């Protein structure tokens, strides 16, 4: 597994923006993992940060490849666009779509935001897989 290293700012604006997306994705993944491991976990919040991780790492990949995705939280759409620059992301298509619902719905009370421990754990695992896959596909920055 490749780890993201926080370093000095890059002189290349595109690389710096890519790094910023990666750092934010890393923060969201760490937050999701902290939240779910708490003695009183808040499952909706963990799922929300898992979605944010996937969204931001996908936007980082697209930024690196000079592809604009626009302002969207739609993981299915971001994956579809991202497959054009990293075809193997197709493997996440069937399990990543549920993350989109956690961008907004998770923040509201039931029935929209009622997220179970299992759903939250699955969201984190999916986000982690996408994050690690993309991080390994990008050059060291």
pLDDT at 7: 57
Cβ neighbourhood burial of 106 (10 Å; 0-12, 13-18, 19+): buried
Residue ranges of domains in the chain: 13-137
Q: ∠68-101-130 over CA atoms, to 5°?
A: 55
pTM summary value? 0.89
Q: How far is CA 22 from CA 25, 39, 45, 70, 134, in A?
A: 5, 28, 20, 17, 10
| Predicted confidence (pLDDT) per residue in 15-73, tens digit | 999 999 999 999 999 999 999 999 999 999 999 999 999 999 999 999 999 999 889 98
13-137 classified as CATH 1.20.58.110: no
Q: How confident is the model at residue 113 (pLDDT cuts 50, 70, 90)?
A: low
Contacts of 96 (CB under 8 A, 6+ apart): 54, 75, 76, 79, 126, 130
CB neighbours of 51 closer than 8 A, spacing ≥ 6? Answer: 73, 75, 99, 100, 102, 103, 106, 123, 127
């Amino acid at each position: 597994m490749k780890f993201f290293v926080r370093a000095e700012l890059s002189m290349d604006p595109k690389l710096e923006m890519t790094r910023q997306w990666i750092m934010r994705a890393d923060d969201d993944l760490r937050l999701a993992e902290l939240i779910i491991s708490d003695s009183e976990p808040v499952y909706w919040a963990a799922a929300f940060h898992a979605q944010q991780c996937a969204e931001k790492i996908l936007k980082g990949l697209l930024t690196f490849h000079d592809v604009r995705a626009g302002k969207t939280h739609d993981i299915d759409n971001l994956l579809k666009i991202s497959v054009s620059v990293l075809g193997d992301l197709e493997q996440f298509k069937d399990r990543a779509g549920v993350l989109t619902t956690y961008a907004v719905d998770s923040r509201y009370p039931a029935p929209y935001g009622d997220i179970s421990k299992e759903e939250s754990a699955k969201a984190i695992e999916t986000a982690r897989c996408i994050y690690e896959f993309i991080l390994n596909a990008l050059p060291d920055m």
